[in-house]
Structure 1
């Protein structure tokens, strides 16, 4: 991509929400360009996504290591996974309205790509790589800690995902792994809403809705875990 490109007003506003003033705006433009909108003269963000994932991982590992000096590797690993997984990156992307400036091809635009969790998570990682390449690790660390700080403070001491925790709970009672059943799927194809029910062998169940099956399953598992914890 040719240097000397300027950012649109929308991208400048996004950079403000992100908290970084790009000296090389072409990096941000590339980070916000999905493969569906890429071309030989308009590189897309997949390589940046690869790098951003590693930058985020290093900063998170350092932050968790420093935040709890008594934590074991077994305690730190699930917390780390909770903070760097695609769902968390997508959640951060939503808080700074990354979807509004994501550059998509026509097919992704039609299918609601600006709201897709995978696209938002990938683009967030790419943006972190763009900050790193633009100004170095300290600048990337500052951006990451700015947007992940509350999540670091609130990450559960045992941050295993809810489905894994529920399965271990069931196995501890001598039961088979919980079953997840799709009860309903509503809404347009580009923005579906799934209703998932989780059922245990012992007759317990809970339902939840979300924009993806995976998210709905996790939400249902968490609801059931909350129920059994309160019992």
Structure 2
């Protein structure tokens, strides 16, 4: 396990799990997605959770979906609650299905906007807990696209995707979503804050989308959250995206 620092008790611990399942078990994974959404509501210490489909960060719909990769976002009141969840029926079931698992632990740094009318990461700025120095940076975005703007939004995205692919310092990116259409998000991992800022403010296509957002009103709801990376373990595609090196196999199912 790669550990960068310790989580503060004043802000929640956020975890993101990715599971890769063999194609022959995709049907079982779909069933687990349905049952786990309800089961997670009763998990002690879990204040917010979403089961997520994943896919290419370059696509907005079913065309880019990856039926062999699934994810869970969890917001934990304490690190001990997250550790206890490792012994849960949900984790055991996914471990039995998956051929790979990658988990990343995150410390919220900033968050603006809402997810299903909630603020899942609280107000990290008010807690004034900066996270460990030198930590890599993760970003979660999520938007509910206003139906009347769906077409114009889709047309604006390809140049942004091209900018993202060319961004120096990007370690990993995936599309995430609760539904194939209308509810869109991304999870991205960056070498440092400077790399993220260069993409956000230095790439022309992304800057144009940011500038047009209040003018066009693409979203009926949106969220942007930034995190310091505390730890990661396991693999995706045979490596830990955080390290770009041979991974610690602790969470890789045998």
Bucket of the pairwise TM-score, normalised by the shorter protein: under 0.3
* Structure whose residues are more often strand by fraction: 2
Instruction: Give 1 or 2 for the bigger CA radius of gyration.
Output: 1
* Structure whose residues are more often helix by fraction: 1
What TM-score does the superposition give when structure 2 sets the normalisation length?
A: 0.26
Q: Which has the higher contact order (CA 8 A, sep 6+)?
A: 2
